Amino acid sequence: MVFKDKDDNLIRIYELVCGYFEELQFYCERFSNNKEPVFTDQEVMAIYLYGIQYQGFTKIKHIHKFACDYLLNWFPNIGSYQAFNNRLNRLGGAFTRLSEILIKDFQPDDCCIDQSLLDSMPIVTCSGKRTGKVAREITDKGYCSTKGMYYYGIKLHMLGFRRKGTLPFPEQIIYTPASENDLNVYKTAWSNLYNRTFFGDKIYMNHDFNKQMKMEYNSEMLAPIKAVKGMAEVIKQRIKAADDLFSTAVSRVRQPIEAMFAWLIEKTDIQRASKVRSTKGLIVHAFGRLSAAFLNYAFNP
């Protein structure tokens, strides 16, 4: 059945959230007398996901205003913007778990499970010219070489299954403070996967570690060739053609993960978190927008 009406999309999102809420409730459970509010957590999540996914809103106040203007027949108890925002900030754990479920349950059949692409992307709470004061428990100052900028915030690290001719499918996503080195995340979280070929940027290349990984796990990291300091110029020229061909081939394979980040930014504006004012708000921003983007896999397998 093809859903064309926007009301159908809202119903689909609400049904999906309710279907998983038997598990999600344990990540936002209340222990007060008001543990069963009239305006439910399922409704809050559905409005947020619908506003981002199908209406293209990237600010919570715009999502709330749209719901008040056009969705009151569906959600008559929505309340004020402040109340809606407070309720949303309590659902960070539920959005975190929902994003994990969507990745787990809707993996496409065309994934190359023995080939993985990996890269990272900054989530910016403020520029490096200022002092970051938001969510200082999980953020710090880092440098993004791609954009050539210092920033405060967190960093999204993605490991994705390669899919030939299209965007990779996320296998695992990790958030770290902005200063965390990509190579350290790779060593800690993913280097112990067996029988895997990784395609990464130059920062992931460590010859001694990769040699050990090949021996222990039969996995290898392929990355563009780094220039070796102190190498004689005559040797550089001799191997330049082969190195350039290899680097170009690796870059072409891993390019889709950069396109994946561009798609996430275009779809959810996840990279810009300058309006976030709390740690809970940043968690909702990070995982709520991932959940909204990954609805594509649930509804368009």
Phi, psi (rounded to 5 degrees) for 55 = -110, -10
- Contact between residue 290 and residue 99 where contact means Cβ atoms under 8 Å apart: yes
- Contact between residue 156 and residue 123 where contact means Cβ atoms under 8 Å apart: yes
Overall pTM > 0.75: yes
Phi, psi (rounded to 5 degrees) for 56 = 75, 20
Q: Report the range of poorest mean pLDDT among 70-84, 93-107, 215-229, 235-249.
A: 235-249
State the residue for tokens 């800690």: 188
% of the chain beyond a pLDDT of 70: 93
Q: What is the pLDDT of residue 291?
A: 97
- Contact between residue 138 and residue 190 where contact means Cβ atoms under 8 Å apart: no
Phi, psi (rounded to 5 degrees) for 109 = -75, -15
Phi, psi (rounded to 5 degrees) for 36 = -130, 75
State the residue for tokens 């959940």: 291
Q: What is the pLDDT of residue 234?
A: 56
Strand ranges, E, within the chain? 112-127, 140-144, 149-162, 169-177, 197-199, 220-222
Average of per-residue pLDDT across 81-89? 95
Residue with the bigger pLDDT between 241 and 149: it is 149
Average pLDDT of the residues of the chain: 90
Do the strands 112-127 and 149-162 form a parallel or antiparallel pair, or are they unpaired?
antiparallel
Q: Is 184 exposed, middle or buried (0-12, 13-18, 19+ CB in 10 A)?
A: exposed
pLDDT tens digits, one per residue of 32-65: 777 778 999 999 999 999 999 999 999 999 999 9
Q: What is the pLDDT of residue 235?
A: 60
Confidence of residue 5 (pLDDT cuts 50, 70, 90): low
Q: What is the pLDDT of residue 195?
A: 96
- Contact between residue 113 and residue 73 where contact means Cβ atoms under 8 Å apart: no
- Contact between residue 67 and residue 51 where contact means Cβ atoms under 8 Å apart: yes
Query: What is the helix (H) or strand (E) element at residue 171, kind and residue range?
Result: strand 169-177
Whether the pLDDT of residue 219 is over 50: the answer is yes
Residues in the chain: 301
Phi, psi (rounded to 5 degrees) for 181 = -75, 135
Contacts of 88 (CB under 8 A, 6+ apart): 44, 48, 60, 284, 288
Q: What is the pLDDT of residue 233?
A: 62
The helix/strand/coil state of 39 is coil
DSSP symbols for 56-104: ---SHHHHHHHHHHH-TTT-TT---HHHHHHHHHTTHHHHHHHHHHHHH
Contacts of 55 (CB under 8 A, 6+ apart): 63, 66
User: 196 is written with which tokens?
Assistant: 């895997």
Residue with the bigger pLDDT between 30 and 2: it is 30
How many other C-beta atoms can be found within 10 angstroms of the C-beta atom of residue 271? 19
